[in-house]
Every structure is written in structure tokens, then in C-alpha cells.
Structure 1
């Protein structure tokens, strides 16, 4: 495409550099997708915790039954207090 549309010759080092840049771009894209998936999973865990606490679940039970981190519990409690305001 570069050769046909822009008359840029793709030879030797230039071709290898372009290949490396494409591989880097793909790696960055895949890492972004993984981060997005993990963020979605965390949001789902926090949403579950909010519902759990709305139904009078305890922090101890959340840690044991839902294997929740202290940070996720803190965020869920903050969101619940905003909802119940």
C-alpha cells in the first residue's frame, strides 16, 4: 500500500522497522483489551458487593464468600452510601 499509494519503497531496514511498529501496535491493542476486560470484571464485582451490602451482608461475609479485596469493599461501601445518601 505504501509503495502503491505514496511511492514509498519498503526495503531492508525500513521494512523491518515497519514490521516492528506493527507488532508493537498489536501488542498495545491487546494489552488495552485485557485492561478493559479486567476493569469490567472489577466493576461487576463491586456492583455485586453493593447489592450484597444493600441486603445487609457483612464485610466479613463479603471477604469470605465473595473473596473481595479491601479496596473493592471500600469502593462498594462508598457507592452504597451515595445511593442511600
Structure 2
């Protein structure tokens, strides 16, 4: 590890070879603008998934007098795009999983109602093997 001063300077007296961890709890809502919550407000603004990049940059620049250079602007915008991508992937994954669970439930209900595996496969346009896996999961182990 190496010492790198990003904002301001601090003569670190600790061992640079040891990993130092600081944990800070971040609330979902942006804390009020008070002296006691300055660090929390700054970090909450930066890490918020509900604030747009311009709102984050505005808070950083106006409330904390941190000059916004092009590289910082790009990094904040990239961070916002990354969190949006994560949200979209999570939504797609949840949607796909929900759809599959819905199919499985429908298949089981049709089977319990007396339809054959072949009839179910024809109705929902799924292979008979896949329908069989859904109605008889214990046989697949």
C-alpha cells in the first residue's frame, strides 16, 4: 500500500502495510444539512441511488466548496450510470425469476387438475421433459 493524499493532507502515523477499515452507516434518506451530519450527508449524497449526477455534484460543490473538475464530474456520472445498470439488471433478474415461478406454478396447477404432461406441454409451448421436471422435481435428483 502507498500513501495517497486525495483531499488535503494528513500525516498518517499508522503502518501503511496494515489495512485500516472505517465503517460508516449511511441512511437511505439524505440527512439534514447540519454540522453534526456533514460527513454522513456528503457520503449519502455521493452514494445515493435516488439522486441524479447533477444533484450530487451540486451538493458537493455548493455545500462543501469542493471544486468540481472534469475528471470528478465524469467519475460521478459514471458511478450514477453504474448504479442504474445494477438496478436494471436486478429488475430483469427478478422479472425473469418471477416469470419462471409463475410458469412452474401454472404447470403444477394444470397437472393437479388432471391434465397430462403432454397436454400441458402443448398448451404452454414447453417441452414435455421440462414440464416433467416441474411436476416431478424429486425425480430429477
**Corresponding position of 1:14:** 72
TM-score using structure 1 length:
0.74
> 3-state DSSP class of the match of 2:87?
helix
**Corresponding position of 1:28:** 86
Identify the structure with the greater helix proportion.
1
How far 1:11 sits from its partner (Å)? 1.3
Which runs of 5 or more residues in structure 1 are unaligned?
Answer: 80-85
Q: Does 1:77 align with 2:136?
A: yes
Which runs of 5 or more residues in structure 2 are unaligned?
Answer: 1-58
Report how many residues are paired: 79
Higher relative contact order (CA 8 A, sep 6+): 1
CA RMSD of aligned residues (A): 2.1
Larger Rg: 2
> 3-state DSSP class of the match of 2:103?
helix
How far 1:26 sits from its partner (Å)? 0.5
How far 1:76 sits from its partner (Å)? 3.4
CA distance in 1, matches of 2:66, 2:131: 52
Runs of 4+ aligned residues of structure 1 deviating over 6 Å after TM superposition are: none
